[in-house]
């Protein structure tokens, strides 16, 4: 059974650019959630996808968008990057909320 895989592991972008982060969910999981974690903070919920549809969204602007594919893998896209977008981005997959979440190792995004 494979876990959650995220790519890339590290990324440096310039303010104003666009970025795409990728996540492969754990085998058998159909729900993917994305979190942003700033240094010293707990993870903040961005959005969740269930069977290719957005199933919930946190307090993030529309320039944060996502996709889920038929194989349940997912992408997080961020447009018009700002310095404050620098953070660890975490992807988590699950079957339903009652089974708990499995997290990937994260993508460290630095915006300069």
Which member of 26, 31, 36, 73 binds another protein (CB under 8 A)? 31
Q: How many CB atoms lie within 10 A of CB 97?
A: 10
- Compute the least distance from the CB of residue 80 to another protein, in Å: 26
Residue of 69, 82, 97, 110 interacting with another protein (CB under 8 A): 97
Interaction mask 39-68, another protein, x per CB under 8 A: -xxxxxx--x------xx------------
101 interacts with another protein by CB under 8 A: yes
Among 78, 90, 109, 111, binds another protein (CB under 8 A): 90
Question: For residue 83, what is the DSSP state?
Answer: G
- Burial string for 1-16 (b: 16+ CB within 10 Å, else e) reads eeebebeeeeeebeee
Give yes or no for a contact between 23 and 35, defined as CB atoms under 8 angstroms apart.
Answer: no
Total binding residues toward another protein, as defined by CB under 8 A? 30
Residue 74, strand partner residues: 23, 68
């Amino acid at each position: 059974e494979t876990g959650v895989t995220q790519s890339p592991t590290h990324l440096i972008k310039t303010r104003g650019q666009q970025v795409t982060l990728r996540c492969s969910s754990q085998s058998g999981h159909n729900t993917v959630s994305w979190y942003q974690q700033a240094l010293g903070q707990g993870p903040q919920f961005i959005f969740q996808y269930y069977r290719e549809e957005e199933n919930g969204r946190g307090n993030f602007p529309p320039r944060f968008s996502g996709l889920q594919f038929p194989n349940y893998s997912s992408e997080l896209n961020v447009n018009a990057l700002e310095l404050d977008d620098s953070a660890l981005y975490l992807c988590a997959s699950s079957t339903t909320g009652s089974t708990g979440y499995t997290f990937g190792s994260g993508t460290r995004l630095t915006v300069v």
